Amino acid sequence: MDRGRLQTTRVTTKLVADACGVSVGSVDRALHGRPGINAETRERILETARQLGYSPHLLARGLVTGRSGTVGIILFDLAHQFFTQLATALIAGLRAAGKVAYVALTDKDPGQERAWLETLANLGVDGIVLVPITKGPEIESFVQGIGRPVITVANPLGEAAEHVGIDNRRAMAEAVAHVAARGYTRVVYLSPPLSGPPEINRAALEERLAGFEEGARAAGILGCSQVVSCHPYIEVVEEAVRKPGIRTAVLCSSDMYALKVLPHFRACGIRVPQDAGLMGFDNIETLRYVTPALATVDYRIEEIGSRTVERLMAALEGRAAPPPGPVPHRIVPGETL
Amino acid sequence: MDRGRLQTTRVTTKLVADACGVSVGSVDRALHGRPGINAETRERILETARQLGYSPHLLARGLVTGRSGTVGIILFDLAHQFFTQLATALIAGLRAAGKVAYVALTDKDPGQERAWLETLANLGVDGIVLVPITKGPEIESFVQGIGRPVITVANPLGEAAEHVGIDNRRAMAEAVAHVAARGYTRVVYLSPPLSGPPEINRAALEERLAGFEEGARAAGILGCSQVVSCHPYIEVVEEAVRKPGIRTAVLCSSDMYALKVLPHFRACGIRVPQDAGLMGFDNIETLRYVTPALATVDYRIEEIGSRTVERLMAALEGRAAPPPGPVPHRIVPGETL
DNA sequence: CTGAAAGCGCTAACAT
DNA sequence: ATGTTAGCGCTTTCAG
């Protein structure tokens, strides 16, 4: 293997060929176990290739085959556990499928999303996993024009790309049902603002909001419930919860909100769950270190990752894609309701 | 820009050249703003390149220039905030420097570390950022044989690679001093086991342990202090803390330990800090959601990231590397001491 | 079964 | 100022 060499020239197929007194064609056939080569010349080639420390130049291979063996992963950031767990699952799954992953972060900036898509396409990635921050015809046609499979996660992109994710609407509706079943007759639903530029993709959050409304209506508590999606929200939530007479729970569109609300309630003397219920969504890792245990909605991010890789590889190999359908979720009861 | 095209052939420099009635050489000069071309022909080329939607085939460019514009980042995992923050800072910094990042996870497996190093080298990365899980002559010579700059983070690799990180020994010694200054006369130092295969790189943890000993000696409390590095550790720590008569603090080699100890102490009635002090190390994000506020040691991971990119780019461009030296740290007092 | 040769798209050295 | 050409290392015809 002669590692330790420092500036010696690269070991190419040509070099191996010369060393064996054969042509690069034969070396290639040997290296890939392709037919059309004598068994013992193949062994001889393989042996010297190993001795010389040959390893394929993946750029060159990618240039000629059109397959680079790489996949791009485009996320908002790595600050939220959803993304880190997703990235972990994707990287591992892709590795198992023989692909190496680029990781690109958009910071929720449409410009960066676009720039990364272009850069990755120019790098010849075989496919892209995208958590889209934009939506609409422009990105959709751009994504389709990339000419390589793109799988979206969390926020879908219409017909432009295959999608993997949970059924946010249904999950949130079930969360409301769970809250109602615990005896709460009023829900304060906490969500980031859903207004703003129309090209921003808030599909997942919109689905959750729709799920809240659906669930609240089904439980007959929509009338006295309330959506808080302003900023700052914490005082508004506090005030809403202080309304006397009705058992009120704060239902958060994601755990992060609950993690902000909990210490605030503690600081201002609102006891959870005696004075107000609290429920999150996503079941992020941090919850393991939080008391009281937060009620939340759980789903296996690894499952999202593996399904995404599965679909991507199916598209790449021309196999039939596995049947679509959302990744399952489940309600996690906690001490906060 | 004609996006929306689906299966049309690639727009190459040749195509642009033909469309302009010039040669690929001129197109190349125009595209790179290189001298040796008439101003108005350059404009004409640039214009048609844009109209045709030309974008460079980065694999081809990398093949000929030997610079792929990519950098590999090899980490243990993305489960710990140190790594996610580091990855975030690196990806952003590399992006600003015109590089795209591969992210590879070793899961602390020497075999995977080696495999990733090889794969990334074969992909023609311009450089590698490595958090090494191994040490010793084998990996050192292998890293040097890669022939591209490798920067280590957290665990150094001797002379084989430039290194960026904090002064773990000194930081932990200061942590002990802080604990002692708060009136504790006994420290239980909590660390993962440092035994095991000799090729495993535990440099950072070893430095921290050395720092503990140094600090405890300086404070004159080494004698009655204690190192716990067994597994399971929690009962041992509990028992150690219950010793009456002496003010005891648990000093953790990382915040994660403190996050385990805290709820356990709460569960078994040991009040923090009345019955026992507690201090972490790393100041991870999760601490923002933990009460009581944990005393810890802080350092700016973004600084580690930016310095790493800086050194890498300097090595790549043949510039003088910035002067070495550890990234600064600081003690963060908390309610747990 | 094996060798020769033609590119993949780009850059760079050399002509003109 | 511009055109031509020779590769980078690999895969893939097409001959022999």
Name the nt closest to A40 by C-alpha to C1': C1
Q: Report CB contact under 8 Å: B91, A68.
A: no
In this complex, the residue of B103, B147, B263 whose CB is nearest that of residue A101 is: B103
**What is the reported pLDDT for B123?**
98
Dump pLDDT digits (tens) for B283-326.
998 899 888 999 999 999 999 999 999 999 999 999 988 888 99
CB A23 within 8 A of CB A31: no
CA atoms within 13 A on the CB side of B118: 13
Is the Cβ of B100 closer than 8 Å to some Cβ of chain A?
yes
Q: Which residue has the tokens 């033909």?
A: B18
The structure tokens listed for A218 are 């089904």
Identify which of B151, B219, B152 has the alpha carbon closest to the alpha carbon of residue B181: B219
Who contacts A318 (Cβ-Cβ below 8 Å, separation ≥6)?
A: none
Is the Cβ of B52 closer than 8 Å to some Cβ of chain A?
no
CA atoms within 13 A on the CB side of A200: 13
Mean pLDDT of chain A: 95
Q: Is the dihedral of CA A28, A32, A37, A40 positive or negative?
A: positive
Query: What is the distance between the terminal CA atoms of chain A, rounded to a whole angstrom?
Result: 62
Give helix A137-145 / helix A110-122 axis angle, nearest 10°.
10
Is the Cβ of A286 closer than 8 Å to some Cβ of chain B?
yes
3-state class (DSSP) for residue B320: coil
Q: Which residue minimizes Cα–C1' distance to D1? A: B37
Q: Report CB contact under 8 Å: A124, B87.
A: no
| Band of pLDDT at residue A97, cut at 50, 70 and 90 | very high
Dump pLDDT digits (tens) for B142-176.
999 999 999 999 999 999 999 999 999 999 999 99
Longest dimension (CA), chain A: 91
Q: B122 to chain A: which residues are within 8 Å by CB?
A: 55-58
**B 301-320 residues with CB below 8 A of A?**
none
3-state class (DSSP) for residue A232: coil
Q: What is the mean pLDDT of residues A294-319?
A: 97
In this complex, the residue of B56, B69, B88 whose CB is nearest that of residue A105 is: B88
H/E stretch holding B143: helix B137-145
String of b and e for A214-252 (b: at least 16 CB within 10 Å)?
bbbeebebbeebbbbbeeebbebbbebbeeeeeebbbbb
The structure tokens listed for B163 are 């290194």
Is the Cβ of A263 closer than 8 Å to some Cβ of chain B?
yes
Give the residue ranges with Cβ < 7 A from strand D. A 10, 12-14, 24-25, 28-29, 31-32, 54, 56-57, 60-61, 63-65; B 21-26, 29, 35-38, 41-42, 60, 63-64
Instruction: Return d(Cα A308, Cα A129) in angstroms, integer.
Output: 8
H/E stretch holding B128: strand B127-130
Nearest CA in chain A to B102: A102
Instruction: Return d(Cα B322, Cα B287) in angstroms, integer.
Output: 33
Instruction: Return d(Cα B86, Cα B253) in angstroms, integer.
Output: 19
Dump pLDDT digits (tens) for A49-79.
999 999 999 999 999 999 999 999 999 999 9
String of b and e for A139-152 (b: at least 16 CB within 10 Å)?
bbebbbbbebbbbb
Q: A63 to chain B: which residues are within 8 Å by CB?
A: 57, 59-60, 63
Q: What is the mean pLDDT of residues B261-276?
A: 95
**What is the reported pLDDT for A291?**
87
Q: Report CB contact under 8 Å: A88, B105.
A: yes
Identify which of B168, B138, B162, B166 has the alpha carbon closest to the alpha carbon of residue B148: B162
Give the number of other CB atoms < 10 A from CB of residue B14: 12
Dump pLDDT digits (tens) for B93-107.
999 999 999 999 999
pLDDT > 60? residue B57: yes
Q: Between the CA of residue A136 and those of A129, A164, A200, B184, B303, what are the distances in Å?
A: 18, 18, 9, 61, 38
| Band of pLDDT at residue B110, cut at 50, 70 and 90 | very high
The size of the A-B interface in CB pairs under 8 A is: 132
Q: Report CB contact under 8 Å: B84, A85.
A: no
Q: Which residue minimizes Cα–C1' distance to C6? A: A64
For A77, phi then psi, to 5°, come to -165, -175
Helices (H), chain A: 13-20, 24-31, 39-52, 58-65, 81-96, 110-122, 137-145, 168-181, 203-219, 234-241, 255-267, 301-317
Distance A102 CA to D5 C1' (A): 35
Nearest CA in chain B to A115: B95
Q: Report CB contact under 8 Å: A58, B102.
A: no
pLDDT > 70? residue B223: yes
Q: B59 to chain A: which residues are within 8 Å by CB?
A: 59, 62-63, 68, 123-124
Dump pLDDT digits (tens) for B26-40.
999 999 999 999 999
Q: A92 to chain B: which residues are within 8 Å by CB?
A: 105
Identify which of B263, B272, B333 has the alpha carbon closest to the alpha carbon of residue B298: B333
Q: Which residue minimizes Cα–C1' distance to C7? A: A64
Nearest CA in chain B to A96: B112
Q: A103 to chain B: which residues are within 8 Å by CB?
A: 87, 91, 101-103
Identify which of B58, B43, B47 has the alpha carbon closest to the alpha carbon of residue B12: B58
| Band of pLDDT at residue B245, cut at 50, 70 and 90 | confident
Q: What is the mean pLDDT of residues B243-272?
A: 94
pLDDT > 70? residue B45: yes
pLDDT > 60? residue A2: no
Q: Report CB contact under 8 Å: A84, B84.
A: yes
Q: Report CB contact under 8 Å: B102, A105.
A: no
Nearest CA in chain B to A80: B84
Who contacts B196 (Cβ-Cβ below 8 Å, separation ≥6)?
A: none
Q: Classify residue A36 by burial, with Cβ atoms within 10 Å: 0-12, 13-18, 19+.
A: exposed
Query: What is the distance between the terminal CA atoms of chain B, rounded to a whole angstrom?
Result: 62
| Band of pLDDT at residue A8, cut at 50, 70 and 90 | low
pLDDT > 80? residue A3: no
3-state class (DSSP) for residue B191: coil
